[in-house]
A and B are shown apart, each in its own frame.
Chain A
Amino acid sequence: MKPLHELTIKEVLDGYVNKDFTCVDLVRHFQSRIEKCNPKLNIYLALNENALEEAKAIDQEIAEKGITRPLLGIPFAVKDNFLTKGIVTTASSNILRDYHPQYESTVIEKIKNAGALILGKTNMDSFAHGSSTETSDFGPTLNPWNPEKLPGGSSGGSAAAIAAQLATVALGSETAGSIRQPAAWCGVTGLKPTYGRASRYGIIAMASSTDSPGPIAKNVEDCAIVTEVISGNDPKDATTSPSPVEKYTKSLYSPDLHGVRIGLVKEYLLPNMREDVKNLIYNAVDKLRLLGATVDEISLMDPRYSIGVYTVIQRSEVSSNLARFDGIRFGHQRDNFCEESKRRIMLGTYTLSAGYYDAFYKKAQAVRTKIVSEFDEIFKTYDAVIGAVSPGPALSVGVSKNQPMFGEMEDVLLEPSSIAGLCSVGLPCGFVDDLPIGLQITSNQLKEATAIKIADCFQRHTEFQLFPDLEKTI
């Protein structure tokens, strides 16, 4: 049998049914791995002290009733911007360093109702402001493939937790890239659901018009299982879609991709992109064609314009959302904000202020309309568009310092789909310099089933979902 940390959701559930191991065994196994690796990689900020007690109760339930819930006894790593009752929640900021949430986020409630067990909370960019985890007030997370490299961000701790196999599955959240980019840099699979597919209630807000919670996992299948559980209308989040949630797991195991039409966005093969990265994307195109899909080169707006749109929208929404941290009802004083948060709050205050609102905020929201309508047009013909997740592999520790637009530049290929609220799967498609490279498969709003089908079929016919040997790397 495989070591316990290598098991996927289905394999864990099968193991419980076959009595190969118990939930207590699994939790103890992860806890000892975490104890060993966490001091080197700084992935978890806090651990669930009741995990073993919860595991015992789960074992009891399995003995009495069997597996009647889809995530029963599945150990999760959770990004530290999800409010978790009973576990400190900091958003990696000193302002919330000792904040114990008074209520539970909807997504956490849903995974718990499905039987999940939370191992702990993972490091992130402070308030999700960044794409490296370097803005965390508690130090950066290091990349399990090479600890001189960053894991990406903002959900860097969750992606690294999966790469280092310190949890079966993880939760992240994406405003523009924060699931897909760290998943790519850590060589794992992430799914950013459609905006409004999963509830934002109880997730510490960054940009409310694009924030989307989603899974980071060992493969597309686990992403599909978790997305099915966390999706759905929530009366506590008025922006959640009333559309019924599809059975995403039914899209798995497609034998081929006959009849699927895919667009390769030529503008996403950036002029300054490394040839070896481009080649991996072309190889993916060949593979998708071999599986029966039609792949055409298509054209979308130059993604550099998305940087401007996203910068203005995100900073404006940040300035509004972070006004609530007044140090009166919870948390500490505003002088505890890190430099990056101050920078974002202030630029957003500027772009929303009298005299500049039309020039910046309204202009950005008008260009957003153009981005949305371009995608609408493309999705009349195509089931998905593809491209690289990041222009290159994971960058070195320290690189984001003194780069006030580091995240925006690194996430240039992800901003258009986030601005338009689309769903997208990011998954590994090869390696350069012994570091993983990610492919994004992006579909229209609420077409998660389509993106999952394509990504799952690609993944089952390739062998890029690998994990680092920590004995050698750290």
Chain B
Amino acid sequence: MHTVTVTQDDVKKISKLANLKLQDNEVNLFAEQFTKTLEVVNQLNEINTKNLNTTYQVNGLSNVTRADEVDLSRVLPQKIALREAQKTHNGFFVVERLIDSDAEELI
């Protein structure tokens, strides 16, 4: 059975993908824990799934659509939509600068 070792470099890469900053001790901790967790997951290889489809949705519904119409009862007024934001400016959300910023290059 193939085993998977999650390295500290893997953890650093995932944390970037997941947009999470980790403490140094967490990198090592998570690498060890993920390796152990995947050992449990790898027991699934004992089950032959060769002719089995995948199940993403269990109650048999598919292609549920609705009319392409604006439902005003579900539209938040601007003031309410902005209410919970930490930073706003002239009725807009303020986001971090991504272009020409000092942040490291994204993956």
Interface assignment of A309: CB less than 8 Å from any CB of chain B: yes
Chain B residue contacts of A102, Cβ below 8 A: 76, 80-81, 83-84
Asked if A405 and B20 make an inter-chain contact with CB atoms under 8 angstroms apart, the answer reads no
Write out, one digit per residue, whether chain A residues 316-356 have a CB within 8 A of any chain B CB (1) or not (0): 00010001001111111011010100110111011001000
Partner of B14, one of A195, A328, A349, A405: A349
Asked if B59 and A445 make an inter-chain contact with CB atoms under 8 angstroms apart, the answer reads yes
Complex CA distance for A335 and B26, rounded to whole angstroms: 13
A45 nearest CB across to chain B (Å): 18
Asked if B44 and A364 make an inter-chain contact with CB atoms under 8 angstroms apart, the answer reads yes
B74 nearest CB across to chain A (Å): 7
Q: Tell me which residues from 51 to 103 in chain B have a Cβ below 8 Å from any Cβ of chain A.
A: 52-59, 61, 64, 66, 74, 76, 80-81, 83-86, 93-95
Partner of B55, one of A103, A236, A337, A372: A372
Query: What range describes how many residues of B lie at the interface?
Result: 35 or more
Q: A196-B61, A404-B33 are in contact. Are A100 and B84 (CB under 8 A)?
A: yes
Interface assignment of A248: CB less than 8 Å from any CB of chain B: no
Interface assignment of A308: CB less than 8 Å from any CB of chain B: yes
Asked if B84 and A330 make an inter-chain contact with CB atoms under 8 angstroms apart, the answer reads yes
Q: A102-B76, A305-B44 are in contact. Are A238 and B83 (CB under 8 A)?
A: no
Q: Tell me which residues from 150 to 207 in chain A have a Cβ below 8 Å from any Cβ of chain B.
A: 194-196
Interface assignment of A304: CB less than 8 Å from any CB of chain B: yes
Q: A327-B86, A346-B11 are in contact. Are A362 and B54 (CB under 8 A)?
A: yes
Interface assignment of A241: CB less than 8 Å from any CB of chain B: yes
Chain A residue at minimum C-beta to C-beta distance from B39: A308
Partner of A319, one of B18, B58, B81: B18
Max count, chain A CB within 10 A of own CB: residue among B30, B47, B61, B93: B47
B55 nearest CB across to chain A (Å): 4
Chain A residue at minimum C-beta to C-beta distance from B45: A363
Chain B residue contacts of A360, Cβ below 8 A: 38, 41
Chain A residue contacts of B34, Cβ below 8 A: 346-347, 350
What total of chain A residues lie within 8 Å of the partner, measured CB to CB? 61
Q: Tell me which residues from 1 to 60 in chain B have a Cβ below 8 Å from any Cβ of chain A.
A: 2, 4, 6, 10-11, 14-15, 17-22, 26, 30, 33-34, 36-38, 40-47, 49, 52-59
A422 nearest CB across to chain B (Å): 9
Complex CA distance for A362 and B11, rounded to whole angstroms: 21
Chain B residue contacts of A239, Cβ below 8 A: 57, 59, 61, 64
Chain A residue at minimum C-beta to C-beta distance from B49: A366
Chain B residue contacts of A304, Cβ below 8 A: 43
A201 nearest CB across to chain B (Å): 10
Asked if B76 and A103 make an inter-chain contact with CB atoms under 8 angstroms apart, the answer reads yes
Chain A residue contacts of B46, Cβ below 8 A: 305
Max count, chain A CB within 10 A of own CB: residue among B10, B38, B95: B38
Complex CA distance for A80 and B76, rounded to whole angstroms: 22
Interface assignment of A473: CB less than 8 Å from any CB of chain B: no
Chain A residue contacts of B54, Cβ below 8 A: 362, 365-366, 368-369
Interface assignment of A311: CB less than 8 Å from any CB of chain B: yes
Max count, chain A CB within 10 A of own CB: residue among B26, B44, B58, B74: B58
Asked if B76 and A342 make an inter-chain contact with CB atoms under 8 angstroms apart, the answer reads no
Complex CA distance for A408 and B33, rounded to whole angstroms: 14
| Residues of A in contact with B (beta carbons under 8 Å apart) | 99-100, 102-103, 194-196, 209-210, 235-236, 238-239, 241, 304-305, 307-309, 311-312, 319, 323, 326-332, 334-335, 337, 339, 342-343, 345-347, 349-350, 353, 359-360, 362-370, 372, 404-405, 408, 419-421, 445
In the complex, 14 of the A-B residue pairs with CB atoms within 8 angstroms, ordered by the A residue number, are A103-B74, A239-B64, A241-B59, A327-B86, A328-B86, A330-B84, A342-B20, A350-B14, A362-B54, A367-B52, A368-B54, A369-B52, A404-B37, A408-B40
Q: Sorted from nearest, which 8 A-B pairs have the closest CB atoms?
A: A421-B58, A330-B84, A365-B54, A366-B49, A238-B64, A308-B41, A196-B59, A349-B18
